[in-house]
Structure 1
């Protein structure tokens, strides 16, 4: 085999049988080899960014490594945003780029040469901060070694993307030697004892415990065991956005998702706990708020994570930590002593759930006589199959989705860490090609949708029955709400200067069905069955995210603000002083 054929055979052997790509001269030999391989297929995208985002969706949907392929220079650099999505969310993916012949490259002519070959770009240096491993191979033997090494790195430990840069001469060189495949690395049992002792001590002292369910549980594939332990232990739990897809939301212990855009009741319970056990979540500032000192001030916080570097963050916070290979987490939980929460705590958690969970309303929509985005999400939720896959984009639309959607056997995901506009459509394509028998919903705002709407051609050319929802408020709503709070409602670049096309004409241009939704009754199961369709949901531009945290406040004090009695009722066990609103301070100082 030549190098390009070796790459194709490697992909077939590891089960990554579909490649997402956009062609180019420096990757043409590899694409030719993929096209000729009887066990592989490829999908042409209109932009390399979309190909990388589709590859990101493959693991989330089908638990196999997604692959993108691109040419040198702009083709390779266009992958970067999609690669970052996988890196920040710990998703394994493999990105293979073509590179100029080594004898034409700057390394051959001198390290200080800016560019020697046509479209030559040092992509390895560019992506190194957002990959677990990136390398340019320089010989046939390096190609054999590095493919297996990179793939193994992608799927081990805290998973993530890798990139292999392959010069054109290596694509054409004859490969000598047998196929090298990545080894299976089993979990190490020595992690369990220390974690059991540490977590056991934390749990034994807890009277008001709560568990924060993070995405790491599902990435390790142990969600069923963790859900069972929580039910047996009768410990209430909340979730990060990344964790929401991995359990049935009718679980008796589930209180809601937490954070800046979290459920009020879930935030109250977490903030009033005396013990917070964090399983596989990195506690970013959308969970703890921008001021981490306001997070669970009366609690012992114990973070369990696979990544030692993540755990180092919490030294200054005084948190307890345990490093665990999450494949072993069920063994750790099974060995823990029984939890013994106070009955008063269990009653309080139940009251907060009954009062707030599933009761999201839009006071702004009611005031404006407009569709409530929460009612729209619930209507979509009821109209799709219980195992449908829903992919969110970003901005206000994404917040409404996570606040109101309830998972049964669904998948619900987004690129939460990087959160780029334009993710949901290409990721939906990747999901549909990975799980062709499941309903797929791409859920977008009108602003974010425009960044990759060219992939409607991919939907059309591949005849993919994807329902594309656009929550159309004619603006960047999440930015407008920020400008309301801190910039005197000056809507520069969020409304003023922003524009969107007629999505009905866009659908017509691509030969897709279209539905303009102005009433809830228009959203029916028939919209989501057997066809590609754009569902254009018309909202007022002044529709708000409710609730939403404003800067400087603890996560249990969200806008719209509760009255003093309701706030005191939520903070039954810990006294959180309510700070002055930032915009009131700005007004008084001016």
Structure 2
């Protein structure tokens, strides 16, 4: 019996474990849309903008470790997804995108000519997405469909994960085929794994180290290996530091975890890295956010071992790696866990790490605050930790108040932080929260800024329509605070397009909440935080908590250039952060010579 290709597509996705899809319907994808609606095993969330579909799929994957589908129509429907796909690409997050397209028989692709378009809403989307996907193809042979779906999904979730895209013309979607005539499914190349000799060398290096540390990065959670990493770290028993903005790799309650590192700190992790004699990197490519821009000053006393499934990362200029293990993380952990034993780390090193942990806090900015002042984001997160449940999920937008959370990390073992780390698009917040709520089926706190939420404000209705357990916190700072700081630092405070006086204004969020049927409360000062957070976590249904953020809410501590004795601007290494600590104390905390 013959079957429609569109139905085979959805059935194959379900067989491969893809059971959630984020979509905006359209004429170019009508058979795909129809097939989605007919298949009871596929859950579909329909959005009000295609960008939100892709960002929701990213939030879904980051929360669950599983891949979701995105279905959009041709032309503008496809191009609207691009920022979300870019975010998944740079953060190595799996995503399966299928777009509709005009009939292949009347398409530009069929002619082979360099035409711009022929049909209505026709656009060569594959040409646009090839540099932000692991696999991208227009399907032109209906008999290849099962193989193409398998190849795309397995490519997305294997090795270094990432988005894939299939463009499916209308006549291919609606083609009727005998399933026995479908082409066989090709095998995907095996993922790299650690070799016995590499494992033995690694254990020898760890055992000989006096000051060992693990750097855990965002690739751990993004590849679905958070549980395996934590088991590995605890079994090995050496200190752990997270790479820059890897906020939920480990949690404060774990004794040997010393926080996040990188150019926005905080200080403890940076001092540990700069004084280590052995560093094992897992799930991080040692980018500038972790090493700082003066990479030649990074961990000069340490032997660095990198485990990565992408062999090109070790070849990039500026990064010194002494030993490279080409392995996918899951394979690495599964090989190592049965073999590794607890390492006897010198007490002096553990004492040093604990001394730093007790000396420095990520909440430096909360010292000396007035209860009557507008809210400091660090104070918000400090109080947030005291009110949140042990398994809270925070989906973050992009705002200066979010950067502080990415410094602070998580307190509880089962908490999660969902953020786009390398794209940093405004508007990520609500869609990511939707994806996270669909994946976890738990309450999600979406925390964002007034500028960011405006980019996908319409998704408040998606949350309401599906009655998703999402609560929203909006840091309100009357504009684009980060760019306002840029104007202050570089252009003597001459503002452009960042507040009402320079061209950008915002609505009453109380009225916005009322329009979408959300509860509303406003927190005006530090002193009101406990009351407002009590309200936030006690409410049933969707609510908006607006937080009036201080306008001069700085990110602190952070790596900042300074003027040397010769009057030259120099960028210090990552442990030498602003506000600068006393020189004598700084020297006392450096075990080795930072200049090598």
TM over 0.5: yes
Which residue does 1:418 correspond to in 2?
423
Change (3 A) 1:576 1:543: farther
State the Cα RMSD in Å: 2.6
Larger mean CA deviation between 36-45 and 127-136 belongs to 36-45
For residues 315 and 286 of structure 1, the distance between their equivalents in structure 2, rounded to whole angstroms, comes to 13
Which consecutive residues of structure 2, in runs of 5 or more, have no partner in the other structure? 562-570
Change (3 A) 1:547 1:177: same
For residues 574 and 336 of structure 1, the distance between their equivalents in structure 2, rounded to whole angstroms, comes to 32
**How far is the alpha carbon of 1:167 from its aligned partner?**
0.3
For residues 136 and 289 of structure 1, the distance between their equivalents in structure 2, rounded to whole angstroms, comes to 41
Which residue does 2:240 correspond to in 1?
237
Deviations 1:456-494 (A, max 9, x none): 111122222311111112232233334444443443333
Change (3 A) 1:180 1:353: farther
Task: Say if 2:132 is the partner of 1:130.
Answer: yes
Change (3 A) 1:521 1:327: closer
**How far is the alpha carbon of 1:351 from its aligned partner?**
0.3
Which residue does 1:149 correspond to in 2?
151
Secondary structure of the equivalent of 1:547?
Answer: coil
- Alignment counterpart, residue 165 of structure 2, candidates 156, 163, 173: 163
Which residue does 2:579 correspond to in 1?
560
Larger mean CA deviation between 79-88 and 37-46 belongs to 37-46
For residues 502 and 472 of structure 1, the distance between their equivalents in structure 2, rounded to whole angstroms, comes to 10
Which residue does 2:220 correspond to in 1?
217
For residues 305 and 436 of structure 2, the distance between their equivalents in structure 1, rounded to whole angstroms, comes to 35
Which residue does 1:508 correspond to in 2?
514
For residues 311 and 100 of structure 1, the distance between their equivalents in structure 2, rounded to whole angstroms, comes to 42
Contact 1:187 1:325 in 2 (8 A): no
**How far is the alpha carbon of 1:285 from its aligned partner?**
1.2
**How far is the alpha carbon of 1:115 from its aligned partner?**
1.1
For residues 33 and 113 of structure 2, the distance between their equivalents in structure 1, rounded to whole angstroms, comes to 30
Change (3 A) 1:138 1:365: farther
Change (3 A) 1:418 1:138: same
Contact 1:265 1:570 in 2 (8 A): no
Secondary structure of the equivalent of 1:561?
Answer: coil
Contact 2:62 2:221 in 1 (8 A): no
For residues 315 and 240 of structure 1, the distance between their equivalents in structure 2, rounded to whole angstroms, comes to 17
Secondary structure of the equivalent of 1:244?
Answer: coil
Deviations 1:98-139 (A, max 9, x none): 001112211233421111111111111111111110000002
For residues 479 and 341 of structure 1, the distance between their equivalents in structure 2, rounded to whole angstroms, comes to 45
Larger mean CA deviation between 129-138 and 38-47 belongs to 38-47
Larger mean CA deviation between 458-467 and 154-163 belongs to 458-467
**How far is the alpha carbon of 1:270 from its aligned partner?**
0.9
Which residue does 2:54 correspond to in 1?
52
For residues 284 and 173 of structure 1, the distance between their equivalents in structure 2, rounded to whole angstroms, comes to 47
Contact 1:390 1:441 in 2 (8 A): yes
Which residue does 1:428 correspond to in 2?
433
Which residue does 1:476 correspond to in 2?
480
Which consecutive residues of structure 1, in runs of 5 or more, have no partner in the other structure? 578-590
Deviations 1:176-211 (A, max 9, x none): 224789789797796331321332343244222211
Contact 1:237 1:255 in 2 (8 A): yes
For residues 122 and 70 of structure 2, the distance between their equivalents in structure 1, rounded to whole angstroms, comes to 19
Per the normalisation by structure 1, the TM-score is 0.91
For residues 40 and 122 of structure 1, the distance between their equivalents in structure 2, rounded to whole angstroms, comes to 28
Per the normalisation by structure 2, the TM-score is 0.90
- Alignment counterpart, residue 458 of structure 1, candidates 462, 465, 476: 462
Contact 1:192 1:332 in 2 (8 A): no
Secondary structure of the equivalent of 1:429?
Answer: helix
- Alignment counterpart, residue 24 of structure 1, candidates 23, 26, 29: 26
For residues 391 and 239 of structure 1, the distance between their equivalents in structure 2, rounded to whole angstroms, comes to 19
For residues 352 and 241 of structure 1, the distance between their equivalents in structure 2, rounded to whole angstroms, comes to 18
Secondary structure of the equivalent of 1:42?
Answer: strand
Secondary structure of the equivalent of 2:374?
Answer: coil
Which residue does 1:387 correspond to in 2?
391
Q: How does 1:364-383 map to 2 (within 5 A)?
A: 369-383=373-387
- Number of residues of Structure 1 aligned to a counterpart in Structure 2: 576
Change (3 A) 1:113 1:180: closer
**How far is the alpha carbon of 1:272 from its aligned partner?**
1.5
Secondary structure of the equivalent of 2:89?
Answer: helix
For residues 168 and 556 of structure 1, the distance between their equivalents in structure 2, rounded to whole angstroms, comes to 57
For residues 595 and 509 of structure 2, the distance between their equivalents in structure 1, rounded to whole angstroms, comes to 46
Which residue does 2:560 correspond to in 1?
550
Secondary structure of the equivalent of 1:448?
Answer: helix
Secondary structure of the equivalent of 2:458?
Answer: helix
Secondary structure of the equivalent of 1:550?
Answer: coil
Which residue does 1:287 correspond to in 2?
290
**How far is the alpha carbon of 1:327 from its aligned partner?**
1.6
Larger mean CA deviation between 95-104 and 287-296 belongs to 287-296
